[in-house]
Amino acid sequence: MKTSFVSKILLVFAMAFSMNGNAQFFKKLAKKAEKAAERTVERRVENETSKKTDQALDSILEPGSGKKQSPNTQGNTGNPPNSGNDSGQSPNTGNPDASGAKTIQVYSKFDYVPGDKLMFYDDFAYDFVGDFPSKWNTNGGGEIVTLGDSPEKWLELISGYRMYYIPDVPQLPEEYTIEFDLMNVGLDNKTSSNAKLRIELSNDDKFKEGSYFVYSSISFCQYSPIGITMESRVDNKRDIYSTVKADLRDEVLNRPHISIAVNKQRFRLWVNEEKHIDIPRIVPTGAALTTLKFHMNGFRDGIERLFIGNLKIAEGGVDLRRKLISEGKVSTNGILFDSGSANIQPQSMGIIRQISQVLMQEASMNLKIVGHTDSDGSNESNLSLSQKRAEAVKSALVSIYGISADRLSSEGKGESEPLGDNSTTDGKAQNRRVEFIKQ
């Protein structure tokens, strides 16, 4: 209706000038205006339709919520991941009757399984804001910061040519997993296609590429879907170079969780719960790639800022199923919960899925699920929390994967059986775990 009205007005306007030599000009102008009006109406209809669709999806995925999560801003840092036993809230939960259970179901096919032997964990809890973190090295700059009103700490990376950030990780084995969170501020439609974060595994333990390396480069460009670049080098010669298509523009704005699994020559990478990279023979052999490095480049100084946090590296990550069948017991700190709650984080579903596969195959097997916490908080609250977390895992197995509740029992042991030193970040991360024991 709006298009027809605008068209008529402009046509009348053109006819008014038909008595002079500009008649043809104004007819063409009217035609262009008509098309422009049509495009405007189409865009408005499309926007309204998109809003209604988003509202409908929100009502399904996040019951009780009428709006989407807003993109990342400096004042909106989101909820911290599992960083202790203090209180916290999140729409995600392992309880099928609580709000957000369907969010877990969306990710029930997520196949990432973190390593089961913790090598390194750093959430900067023991570092001071303004300092460079004590468990990292660099040839540039950077400092610990907080964002908005959240007490959670982040390492701000600095963009620069061959400027590296190297965590003090023990020598990397053949099979291991890497996880970390990212935050950023200042990204917009001018963010360059060269704005990237490079995650590199190298045989050089200092600030060079090394003669053997493999890296994955994640783009933060907002005006075009750049994808993820992969490269490997063997004895200073390029072996593989490719860019995998991936539109990560929305993901990088909203606190992406990056997961990487290295199994000998195989390299896999997930952004949130979606796997983007799975290359079977890209990690070079012939020299040990013992060092993990981070490098960012292409960000506008003082405008676009990038932060990394909650870095976790663990040996293993191959297959918990065989171990559970052969040994009758597995323990994992890869099932993550929101801080201080029993809300299961979606990236944990790969492990729960593997446990369900064992139970489906071994029809006579029953399991006891045991929750453990670190020592933050009182003994009573930790005992209660560990019990609720064990129950949440049981509920996920029952409600999502259809395992009979009669085959599962749950128990909480709180902080009573620590594996690590509760006075250190690494120790606390080891102590926050879930055990599955054959009955």
d(CA 214, CA 44): 46
Q: Write down the pTM of the prediction.
A: 0.64
The radius of gyration computed from the CA coordinates of the chain, to the nearest angstrom, equals 26
Say whether both 14 and 160 belong to one domain: no
List, for residues 284-327, the tens digit of each pLDDT value: 988 899 999 999 999 998 899 999 999 999 998 666 788 888 89
Residue 89 covered by a domain:
no
406-433 pLDDT tens trace: 999 999 999 999 999 999 888 898 899 9
- Give the CA-trace dihedral at 391, 404, 96, 355, to 10 degrees: 70
The reported pLDDT for the residue numbered 217 is: 97
> Of 272, 297, 315, which residue constitutes the final position of a domain?
315
Q: How long a stretch of residues is the chain? A: 439
Q: How would DSSP label each residue in 215-264? A: EEEEE--SSS---EEEEEEETTEEEEEEEE----TTGGGS-PEEEEEEET
Phi then psi for residue 71, to 5 deg, are: -60, 165
Task: Answer positive or negative: Cα dihedral of 244, 249, 250, 252.
Answer: positive
Residues 7-24: tens digit of each pLDDT: 554 454 545 444 444 445
In a domain, residue 144? The reply is yes
CATH code, 147: 2.60.120.200
Average pLDDT estimate for 106-118: 71
| Whether the Cβ atoms of residue 391 and residue 378 lie closer than 8 Å to each other | no
| Residue that the structure tokens 């102008």 belong to | 29
Q: Let me know whether 369 and 333 are in one domain.
A: yes
Helices (H), 17-78: 23-61
Q: Does residue 87 fall inside a structural domain?
A: no
Reported for 43-50, long-range contacts at CB under 8 A and 24+ positions apart, including other chains, are none
Q: Is 439 exposed, middle or buried (CB count within 10 Å of its CB: 0-12, 13-18, 19+)?
A: exposed
**Are 325 and 358 a contacting pair, CB within 8 Å?**
yes
Q: Is residue 427 part of a domain?
A: yes
- Of the residues 287, 315, 343, which one is the last residue of a structural domain? 315
The residue segments making up the domain with residue 236 are 114-315
Task: Specify the number of domains making up the chain.
Answer: 3
The residue written with tokens 């040996």 in the block is 315
Please check whether residue 251 lies inside any domain of the structure: yes
Q: Minimal CA–CA distance to 187: which of 165, 219, 233, 162? A: 219
> 274 and 386 in one domain?
no
Find the CATH number of the domain harbouring 329: 3.30.1330.60
Q: What is the predicted pLDDT for the residue at 117?
A: 82
Shared-domain flag, residues 175 and 246: yes
Asked whether residue 68 is assigned to any structural domain, the reply reads no
- Tokens describing residue 50: 């998109």
pLDDT in tens, 333-345: 888 898 889 999 8
Band of the pLDDT at 110, cuts 50, 70, 90?
A: low
Q: How many CB atoms lie within 10 A of CB 73?
A: 12
- Do 273 and 328 reside in the same domain of the chain? no
Residue 404 reports pLDDT greater than 90: yes
**Do 359 and 423 fall into the same domain?**
yes
Specify whether 429 is located in the same domain as 414. yes
Do 9 and 143 have their domain in common?
no
Amino acid at 155: L
Residues 193, 330, single domain; the answer is no
Q: Looking at the structure, tell me whether residues 401 and 266 fall in a common domain.
A: no
Looking at the fold, whether 220 and 247 belong to one and the same domain comes out as yes
SS3 assignment, position 122? strand
| Residue 221 falls inside a structural domain | yes
188, two tokens:
């917009």
pLDDT on residue 113: 82
Report CA-CA distances (Å) from 296 to 135, 218, 335.
Answer: 19, 9, 29
Instruction: Give one DSSP letter per residue of 138-203, joined into a string.
Output: ESS--EEEE-TT---EEEEE---TT--EEE-PPPP-SEEEEEEEEEEE---TT--TT-EEEEEEES
The answer to whether residue 81 is domain-embedded is: no
Which of 315, 337, 358 corresponds to the end of one domain? 315
Is there a single domain that holds both residue 157 and residue 298? yes
Answer for the pair 84, 113: CB distance below 8 angstroms, yes or no: no
- Tokens (6 digits) for 170: 């023990």
Whether the pLDDT of residue 102 is over 80: the answer is no
